[in-house]
Structure 1
Amino acid sequence: MKKILFTMAFIAIFSTKFTFAQSKTDAAFNQVLTAYYDVKNALATDKKDVAVEKSKVLLAKVEAVPHTDIPDAAHKIWMEQAAIIKTNAKSLSASKDIKVQRKSFENISYAMIKTLKAVKFNSATVYVQHCPMAKASWLNEKENIENPYYGKMMFDCGDVSETIKAK
């Protein structure tokens, strides 16, 4: 009987620790997603200076993800995509040209989409949106289109190509 109780206690403690680690990691990923949305919103409204500042926040949030708690397969994907996000966030923050910023954002978007699909961390519904004119996709926190690739010129150009439900 003591062995069974000890085993049950051990399992309970281990699973609680794993759940806590996962929730901490998910919270960090959701902060990355929020920072990503801030960059997207700045570009969608043609605010290139705000995009510079928000991309610096995005970079810091990516670097703050406690990646050692991520399971192996997802960890490999995160490390690859995090490198892409960081490189392009640095490029975006170094540029004053909104076209260059948008190209960097496109690379960030594809890395974020791949990460979200692999790690499945979102605490709210996320919409994958696509602009046929830009031939590019992005993530949005709202179902309404807010095109970061053309901004005010074509703010609502695009469609929802996929809906990723909250975890």
Structure 2
Amino acid sequence: MIMKRIIIIVAIIAIATTKITFAQSKTDAAFNQVLLAYYDVKNALSTDKKDAAIEKVKVLTAKVNDVPNKDLTTAQQKVWMEQSSIIKSKAAQLAGSNDIKTQRKSFEGISYAMIKTVKTIKFNNATVYIQHCPMAKASWLNEKENIENPYYGSMMFDCGDISETIKSK
């Protein structure tokens, strides 16, 4: 009889922790989709593709809207609500412009919001590099170590350096 109770209790605990882990991994997966969409925008700008940047930033906005934030801590939720609002606002500015300089300025706001999000929520399933261009006085996230400058594109494609490395969680 005692053994049955122990087995039932262990089963309940296992189910409860699995549900919490699954919910968190679902949230992390959604955040990683946001990060991948962000990289697509960065890659479009770093290769001077302003039309692609417009299309990619629309995908980024959709991915931001898809993040289930109820599984975040209160502090994480606060940060995400603030930063996602900035990302969506700057994404709308970027999408509404055909001028690549204006797009890049909007991307700077998206980048700082993404940097704060990654550093605070720590969801990344791959190493993220925070890179900085001293000429633009701006930073961005990159999925690889090689510099791919979204603020100057082909004019100074590899201008910048890695200012921080965020290991995968």
TM-score by length of 1: 0.96
Which one is further off, 56-65 or 72-81? Answer: 72-81
CA distance in 2, matches of 1:13, 1:79: 30
| Structure 2 residue 37 is the aligned partner of structure 1 residue 12 | no
CA distance in 2, matches of 1:83, 1:4: 47
Which residue of the partner structure matches residue 133 of structure 1?
135
Which residue of the partner structure matches residue 48 of structure 1?
50
Aligned-residue offset at 1:76: 1.1
Aligned match for 2:31, one of 16, 29, 32: 29
Whichever of the two has the greater Rg, that structure is 2
Aligned-residue offset at 1:4: 4.0
Aligned-residue offset at 1:145: 0.2
Percent identical across equivalent pairs?
73
Q: Deviation digits for residues 29-60 of structure 1, max 9, x if unmatched? A: 11100000000000001110000000000000
Aligned-residue offset at 1:10: 2.3
Aligned match for 2:91, one of 86, 89, 92: 89
- 1:136-147 map, 5 Å: 136-147=138-149
Code of the residue aligned with 1:29 in structure 2: it is F
Q: Deviation digits for residues 138-165 of structure 1, max 9, x if unmatched? A: 0000100000001100100000000111
Q: Structure 1, unaligned stretches of length 5 or more?
A: none
Which residue of the partner structure matches residue 109 of structure 2?
107
- 1:63-78 map, 5 Å: 63-78=65-80
Which residue of the partner structure matches residue 161 of structure 1?
163
Aligned-residue offset at 1:115: 0.3
Q: Deviation digits for residues 4-36 of structure 1, max 9, x if unmatched? A: 444322221111001000111111111100000
CA distance in 1, matches of 2:149, 2:32: 21
Q: Deviation digits for residues 82-117 of structure 1, max 9, x if unmatched? A: 000011111100110111111110000000000001
Aligned-residue offset at 1:3: 4.8
Aligned-residue offset at 1:137: 0.3
CA RMSD of aligned residues (A): 1.0
Code of the residue aligned with 1:109 in structure 2: it is S
CA distance in 2, matches of 1:51, 1:133: 22
